[in-house]
Structure formats: C-alpha cells, structure tokens
Amino acid sequence: EDGYRLWLKYDELDNTKLKKAYIKQLSGVYLDASSATGKVIKQELELALPALLGKPLTFNTKADNASLRIQLNQSPSALISGDGFSIQSQGKHLNITANTQVGLLYGTFHFLRLVQTEQSLAKLDITQSPKIQLRMLNHWDDLDRHTERGFAGESIFDWHKLPDYKEQRYYDYARANASIGINGIVPINVNSNALILSPAYLQKVQALADVFRPYGIKVYLSIKFSSPQQLDGLATSDPLDKQVQQWWQNKTAEIYKLIPDFGGFLVKANSEGQPGPGDYGRTHADGANMLAKALKPFGGNVLWRAFVYAHDSEHERSLQAYTEFVPLDGQFEDNVSVQVKNGPIDFQPREPFSPLFGAMPQTSLAMEFQVTQEYLGFSTHLAYLGTMYKEVLDADTHVKGTGSSVAKVIDGSLEGHSLSVMAGVANIGADRNWTGHIFGQANWYVLGRLAWDHELSAEQIAHEWVAMTLTHDVKSSEQIVAMMMASRENIVNYMTPLGLHHLMDTGHHYGPGPWVDNLGRADWNPTYYHRADDFGIGLDRTSKGTNGVSQYAPYWQEIFSDPAKTPDELLLWFHHLPWDYKMRSGQTLWQELVAHYYTGAAAAEQMQQDWLTLKNNIEPNQFNQVRMALAIQVKEAKWWRDACVLYFQSYSKMPLPMGFEKPKHSLEYYQSLKFPYAPGQG
C-alpha cells in the first residue's frame, strides 16, 4: 500500500461479525447499467464489494429479487435537489434512489462509505442533497506539467499525450472526486496560457471531459484575458470592443461543440501581472459580463477571482479586493460568481475571514480555499485543513445580524442566490500517493465533503477518512484524529502565532524569512506585515492604522478595533502592540509569542512520538511515509521557531523566558539559508 488507492482502498473488512451481516444484507444487486454513469456505478460496486466482503457479487436482473437496488426515481422526488440521493431500508431491501444518474453514483459512494467505515446497514433512512452547487478543484498546473505551488510531483495532466492517451490515473482521479461529490475541475493554472483555447488543445480538453463526464465532473478552463490578441492577433482584448465580444462568443461556441457540458471560465485578471479589463480602463464586471454573455446560451458560468492587489495602490494589501469589488456589487450577470480567497491576503496559516463575504449581497460569492500547502509547510508538514475550513465557514459575518455565517453567504442561502460555489486549489500531483504527504489526501477529502455539506464537523470527516485510509482500530483512529485536529494550530504556533502572517521566505514561501525586506513590491515583504520595531510588533489595521477593520460589519469593527476584545489568535493581525503588552494570560506579549513558538515545535515532536506508537496498526509503507515526513516537520518546526524568535528578539531585546531551550544557531545563520530549487515556484 503506497497510498495510490486513496480512501477507496476497499481492503477486506476484518470485523467478521459485521462482514457476515453485510454479506447477508447484500446478497444481490440490481441496477440499470445502460448509461455511462450506470456503468461506472457497476464497475465501482464490482471493485468494492467483493474486495470488502471477500465474496463475489451477484447482480440480479429483476429488482424484486435484489437486496440492494439502485434506481432513478420514477418521478423526481421533491425531497432531493440536484444530484442528491436517498438510501432507505425497506424490508429486506436497501434502496438507493436519486433524480439523476450522478445522484445514484453519489448515493452508491455514500453507501460504500458506510461499509468502509463499518456502519450498520439496518434501518437506514438517509436523504442528502448538496448544499453547494459547484464543488470544484482548481489545479494550478501548467501545460508543461509544472505545478505552481504543487508539492506532489508534476501535473497529473499529460497534455503532450492527450487526446489519444488517457491514463488510468484520470479515471482514478475521477472516481476519487466523485466519491466526495466534486463535480467540477479546472485542469490548468489561473496564471493561464492562451494556448489552452487553441483548436489543438481544445481537443485535449475534450478528451479529458469525455473521461470525466460519466463521473458527473465538468471541465472548466482558466483563461488568459488577452487570448483574442494572443491567439488570433486581434488589436485589443477590450471587453467593450465588439470584435472582442464576438471572438469570445465564437470561441465559446467552438468549445461547446466539442464539450456540450463545458462548465465555464475561471479568470485571474489584473492581478500579479495578468492581463484584464483594467488594461482598457474597464471594470472587473465589464470583463466578467462579456464572458458571461458568451457562456449564457450554453448554461456555462464565469468564476471571476477577487484575488487582486495593485502595484500602485495607496491601500494596504488586505484592503484591496474589497475596495475594488464592493462598488461593483449588483453589476455582475447572474452566471458570474466572484471567487474569493478565504482570507483577505493569501492563504496564510491563519487569517480572519475575508471581509468580502457578506459585503456583496447582490453577487454570488464563491469560496476559494487552498488545499495545497503553499504557506503551510508544503507536502512535508502534517496539517489537516478541515479545522481551518470550518473556522472560516462557521465564522459569523454579522452582516444580517447573528447567524450570517460565511457558509450561508457561500451556499447562497443568506441572500437567495442560486449559483453557489466552493473551490479548492488542488494539492494533487503525479506522486504515487497523489498528494506527497499521505495526510494531504485528507485535505482533498475534506474539501469535497464540506462542499457537499458544510455542516459536517471536521472531526467527523477526519474519522471517516482515517477509517477508509489508515485503520479501523478504534484506539489508533482516535489518536490519529486527535493529531489531525490539533495539527493546523501547531503550524500556526510555530510559524505565525497571534495573528502574524506572511513571514515566509522569498518567492518559494518555504521556511522562515521574517527579515526579508528587499522584494520588488513592498507588500511581498514579511516586514510589511509584522512591522516589528523597538516598540513592538503587529500591523495596525484599526482606524488609526490602515483601517482594515472598517471593511467588517459593525459587530466586528468594535471587536477588532480594541486589542482587549480582539481574540488572541488575530491580535497582531489588527494591532501593533508593545512588547510588554499585557496579554489575557497575564504574560507579556513577548513571553507569549515565544511560548507559542515553543509550544508549536513541541507539539510537532509529540505528534512524531504519537505516530511511532501506531506502527503495528498502519500498513508499513503508509506508516513510513508519514514517519519520514514527521521527522522533517520536527526539524523544520524548530527552524521556524528559532529563526523567528531570534529575529523578533533583535527588536524586543528581551531575554528568552526561563525554561526554553536556546536556539542552536545564530540569527545570521538562519538568514543565510537559501533554497534555490524549492518546488512549486511560480
């Protein structure tokens, strides 16, 4: 077991009593496998059930005789929406029903999950519908297979061999996605390449779409806004130019001819050097609407990213997305969703929720989470991101009083939008185990599960994943889930505690670089964000500072404006405070900052020790992969701790509090470390 099978391992259950009960309950299966999706369901059952139960599977030709019946509803059930499903016990039968074929596929995967996680199949009465309509993975993969911010090898998409060569991996990838309800993928980088819309590449995209269709997965494309100029030599890409509009309409029609269920376009425009409507003095709405109108007749959508920060802006970076987008609220076509990163800056280990959530009531807002751990230790650090996703989704924006959670903004229920989207920037690559770190698989898994149902808890999802991927042993599972649940906070502690952010080293974001102050743009420098000086540390975002607080609802403004009310974990995000500032704990800010760094590093060591005790309950190859990664993590957690503590100490000029082991090296040593070939750079 090297991790290739992900959470779809289907190893024979070792609980013999339960296995016997399942065998009795699953004596025969009836399903109509005439559609492409029906065939996929049949294949999955043939793969899974005989393996899990250690017994060949019988298919019945008549529904009456079968114990497991997988059938479309005769007339659509009003209890189910979209690709939802029901699983119901009825006497000796177990019925999986849905209004769509893909709903049956999801119901089948849910049923298999019950078996994989050893749940009882008696008296089932389950009805589920997805809470979010578009549940997507965004790959930041280039056409040459380089993956931006990818740490699991090269891209799984081999554009060179497409369209003729369809790797088995594409099918396994589709199975994994379908098993967690992901129904849209963007195979190429938001820093796009105009070539993707050329006829030759569209054929390759078509081949992928053909593979994914039976699994309920639509393909979307990241596009380059200047494609009309780059591909066909138009004089401009101005969205208000008639010829440009016509070009996009033609191109869109060309795509739909090849891919009738094409999903739409994902756009990064006027951000980090990408072309966009701003190049012609037009707004993001002008750009998005031009594409939306081209897609509309075919049912496609535009996902327009809000990740923008201008070079010459007078605004502090965290303010810019809101400043540019809020005035456009109400101007976007209804097949546009504005895709917002979870926090106002950029996928830091911890950020407050982006103030855009709740601030654009007339616009569908999509959530963009990062699954790949660009700022969280790449694929060597164990960070279960379920807790982070939940922290953001559960955050209450208070824009319409208590209970206006980010999740309700995203799923459309707060403002009554029908288009709802959650996307994750994929952590998937061609490594045998897909995600570089075995536990990275859990982040792919939890992204899909939460997009399906954001009310599930991170812990429950972790339990599912562990049972399907690592072990059924109760004690071990509990230990592993506890590790996972604490893991992201550990990283926050040894990298960026108390609301610090963006302390990562130049370019690659690997390892600590709080001292970096010489980059091309002020807001690429860690010093821009932590503002450490002889007085204290933190970025003042109150009305006396950059006034970031003003972008939140009054409820939060009041809290975030006052250090005494601001939660500790966001303190230095919003405030610049003296080194001897008295914390809630009674300790000084300096003491507490240091304590967080040491706690985080110690927790990494504890995690390593806990893992070692699990040796006999985890398959050796999986066990060893995690063991080796944890050894790196422990080393690097100390590196983070020591580099940051020494650097901040050069300002605080305060001694290391008693009881903490002194850093091994000098600050100069940590500053001298260079990593020229760190993976994933843009």
Instruction: Write out the residues near ligand BDP by the rule CB under 6 A.
Output: 148-149, 190-191, 268, 272, 307, 346-347, 374, 682
Minimum separation from the CB atom of position 521 to ligand BDP (A): 13
Whether 232 is catalytic = no
Residue with smaller CB distance to ligand BDP, 19 or 488: 488
Structure tokens at 651: 């300002």
Interacting residues of 248 by C-beta distance below 8 A, sequence separation 6+: 228, 290, 291, 294
Burial of residue 173 (CB within 10 Å: 0-12, 13-18, 19+) is buried
Structure tokens at 414: 């707060």
Structure tokens at 662: 């002194």
Residue with smaller CB distance to ligand BDP, 374 or 464: 374
Euclidean distance between CA atoms 634 and 624, whole angstroms: 15
Contact 329, 296 (CB under 8 A): no
Pairing of strands 336-341, 134-138: unpaired
Q: What is the DSSP letter of 124?
A: -
Euclidean distance between CA atoms 358 and 380, whole angstroms: 35
Pairing of strands 134-138, 421-425: parallel
Residue with smaller CB distance to ligand BDP, 149 or 501: 149
Cα distances (Å, whole numbers) of residue 144 to 185, 196, 269: 18, 12, 22
Euclidean distance between CA atoms 92 and 122, whole angstroms: 9
Minimum separation from the CB atom of position 502 to ligand BDP (A): 10
Cα distances (Å, whole numbers) of residue 67 to 32, 95, 216, 276, 533: 15, 8, 26, 57, 71
Residue with smaller CB distance to ligand BDP, 375 or 598: 375
Minimum separation from the CB atom of position 219 to ligand BDP (A): 20
CB atoms within 10 A of CB 286: 18
Minimum separation from the CB atom of position 21 to ligand BDP (A): 49
Which residue minimizes CB distance to ligand BDP? 682
Cα distances (Å, whole numbers) of residue 666 to 216, 496, 527, 536, 647: 55, 20, 20, 22, 10
Euclidean distance between CA atoms 463 and 470, whole angstroms: 10
Minimum separation from the CB atom of position 86 to ligand BDP (A): 39
Euclidean distance between CA atoms 544 and 490, whole angstroms: 32
Among 12, 272, 478, 580, the active-site one is 272
Residue with smaller CB distance to ligand BDP, 225 or 307: 307
Minimum separation from the CB atom of position 353 to ligand BDP (A): 17
Residue with smaller CB distance to ligand BDP, 22 or 357: 357
Euclidean distance between CA atoms 469 and 8, whole angstroms: 7
Minimum separation from the CB atom of position 380 to ligand BDP (A): 18
Alpha helices in 343-457 (DSSP H): 386-394, 406-410, 440-452
Euclidean distance between CA atoms 652 and 328, whole angstroms: 44
Phi/psi at 96 (5° precision): -105, 120
Interacting residues of 674 by C-beta distance below 8 A, sequence separation 6+: none
Among 142, 346, 523, 592, the active-site one is 346
Minimum separation from the CB atom of position 425 to ligand BDP (A): 7
Whether 118 is catalytic = no
Interacting residues of 285 by C-beta distance below 8 A, sequence separation 6+: 328, 331, 332
Cα distances (Å, whole numbers) of residue 500 to 172, 471, 575, 638: 39, 36, 10, 17
Residue with smaller CB distance to ligand BDP, 30 or 309: 309
Residue with smaller CB distance to ligand BDP, 108 or 192: 192
Minimum separation from the CB atom of position 370 to ligand BDP (A): 7
Structure tokens at 584: 């809630």
Among 324, 374, 489, 592, the active-site one is 374
Minimum separation from the CB atom of position 149 to ligand BDP (A): 5
Residue with smaller CB distance to ligand BDP, 376 or 572: 376
Residue with smaller CB distance to ligand BDP, 134 or 190: 190
Structure tokens at 395: 């955050």
Cα distances (Å, whole numbers) of residue 416 to 131, 364, 637: 13, 9, 44
Residue with smaller CB distance to ligand BDP, 84 or 277: 277
Contact 188, 221 (CB under 8 A): yes
Minimum separation from the CB atom of position 374 to ligand BDP (A): 6
- Residues acting as catalytic residues: 272, 346, 374
